[in-house]
Amino acid sequence: MASKLEALTHWVNEVAALTRPAEVHWCDGSDAEYQALLQQMLQAGTLIELNQQTHPGCYLHRSDPSDVARVEHLTFVCPPRQEDAGPNNHWMDPAEAHAKIDALFDGCMEGRTMYVVPYCMGPIDSPLARCGVEITDSPYVVANMRIMTRMGAAAQARIEREGLLPDGAFVKGLHSTGELDPERRFIMHFPEELTIKSYGSGYGGNALLGKKCHALRIASHQARSEGWLAEHMLIVGISNPQGDTHYIAAAFPSACGKTNLAMLIPPEGYRQDGWKVWTVGDDICWMRPGADGRLYAINPEAGFFGVAPGTSESTNPNALKSISRDTIFTNVAVTADNQPWWEGLPGTPVTDWQGRAYDPANGPAAHPNSRFTVSARQCPTWSDQAEAPQGVPISAIVFGGRRPSLLPLVMEARDWSHGVLMGAAMGSETTAAATGAVGVLRRDPMAMKPFCGYHYGDYFAHWLSFDQPGASLPKVFHVNWFRKGADGKFLWPGFGDNLRVLEWMIARVEGRVAGTETPIGILPAHAGTGPGELNLDGVRLGQEQLDALLAVDLDRWQEELAAIGEYLETFGTRLPPRLRQEQQRVARALNEASGQPRRAAVAS
């Protein structure tokens, strides 16, 4: 049987024959290699040195103006049967997809260096981690992959070791920036082959193949077959004054506050009392049942690829501290003294994200989806448990999104089935992280709509399958930091004060508060229905605002459940009957509570 190294070498030779590079470089992940890549890009003008006094080791990359976000309409999942991709994915016959994209790869690296990038998603010695190799002609991609993954010699050694990975498999990713032509741009996934092919984009989500492509689309397929979960979730640890730590995994669509929550700073009163917050991950979470029946999670990434706009001293000082050195910025503006700038920061930009003299008539100085790439270890709240091979035990799973009305500040699912329904029904206003209209409400189950590598009906069934005898599953919650009052302003202060909601969740996990039963879930008891369970000391929040945040409008919720039922029906015969039954149960509970039975378009 051929060794892993022989299999890898054979594939690299095949790709080189197709793409015809001037040379092939096998990446070792060393500091010297990284510095050489930076110098190469500086000399080529594809990287710009920023102010080394204020931001040592920081650089700016400007992408093509047509290449600034994920391109979901050009992203395909290609199992042999279209029905296995599901209505949640764009599908192409795998033979057709290979032929179409291989024609683009033909000779595309002539005159360029082909980089071979072995990487590990997760701690090198973790049984939960999985490896891959990305072949790319972009030094920018290589530099970012070094920050975002455990890249280089150690990852290659793990790939070569016999018996460590299931079937000795590693994910193969082939990438070329091509001509950066939007008409010649595709991101293809072949789950059964553990293969990714990406052409024509240099943007992170399309080009850093270890991230969304591997760690979510391909890994979700792996996870289903191997009995674990690959999710678009942050992982945060909350330590109380007694020193007990609970880990929470939370799913939000991009640019909905994931990084802020992952790096949360407790309110002053909480800090004085001894509460601490630990950052394990800000974007992706892999969870596997442990021997004790609990779910244990790792962050497969080693860095943050964060959205810059909205990151400021007032919103996320920990992120700001993290990116003060050794960071690659993409599509931000710069100030007169060559510091990175985006809306929300003090100072004045002189050059916008396209390198033009800043003119407000051209739009924001920094692109709304401009990014920073930085090692997670630079975060002041980084937890060394992020390197724990066994992962961290998850006490609670949280779903959320941007909903200006209807959804309360927080609600708890009554059981696992109800929690899966909460995740499946998630809706949020769209953001600038993907191409297309912004501010449109769309269903985004578990925040995985752009990332689930197979049929959503099968995905829901996989989630439900974890509810087995002996399982000690996390409690499931849904939050909405973005509910607005009649004046159009946010009702909840958010940011650090979100810890008050997490504290209530932990109290529920520990059985210390009773909550209030409603047809849609368990809400915190508050002044109108009993002793208040949310710690609101120091928060300027009137009773009227609190009542609005926790209000349950039965009539509108009946309409919501009808809409959820219609949405679930789009998954046809693959929708798990248990999920359909759960939707019907909540719809009946709402009808009974309203005292006026009405037609509810429940899934049937």
- The answer to whether the Cα torsion of 54, 59, 65, 71 is positive or negative is negative
- The response to whether 198 counts as a known ligand-binding position is no
CA gap 543, 215 in Å, rounded: 44
CA gap 412, 435 in Å, rounded: 33
Q: Residue 353: how many CA atoms within 13 Å on its side-chain side?
A: 26
- The response to whether 427 counts as a known ligand-binding position is no
Identify whether the C-beta of residue 444 lies closer than 8 Å to the C-beta of residue 428: yes
256 included as an active-site residue? yes
Maximum CA extent, the chain: 74
- The response to whether 259 counts as a known ligand-binding position is yes
- The response to whether 498 counts as a known ligand-binding position is yes
- The response to whether 580 counts as a known ligand-binding position is no
Burial class of 272 by CB neighbour count within 10 A (0 to 12, 13 to 18, 19+): exposed
- The response to whether 276 counts as a known ligand-binding position is no
Catalytic residue among 256, 285, 379, 452: 256
3-state secondary structure of 156: helix
Q: Which residue has the tokens 């919720």?
A: 557
CA gap 417, 467 in Å, rounded: 8
- The response to whether 547 counts as a known ligand-binding position is no
Strands, E, within 389-440: which ranges?
392-400, 410-412, 427-429
- The response to whether 402 counts as a known ligand-binding position is yes
- The response to whether 475 counts as a known ligand-binding position is no
- The response to whether 203 counts as a known ligand-binding position is yes
- The response to whether 70 counts as a known ligand-binding position is yes
3-state secondary structure of 497: helix
Selection from 86, 105, 284, 74 nearest residue 188 by Cα = 74
- The response to whether 495 counts as a known ligand-binding position is yes
Identify whether the C-beta of residue 41 lies closer than 8 Å to the C-beta of residue 143: yes
- The response to whether 204 counts as a known ligand-binding position is yes
Identify whether the C-beta of residue 515 lies closer than 8 Å to the C-beta of residue 508: yes
- The response to whether 257 counts as a known ligand-binding position is yes
3-state secondary structure of 469: coil
Q: What residues are designated binding site? A: 70, 203-205, 212, 232, 254-260, 283, 369-371, 402, 495-498
Q: What residues are designated binding site for GTP? A: 255-260, 371, 402, 495-498
Catalytic site residues?
256
Q: What residues are designated binding site for Mn(2+)? A: 212, 232, 283
Q: What residues are designated binding site for substrate? A: 70, 203-205, 254, 369-371
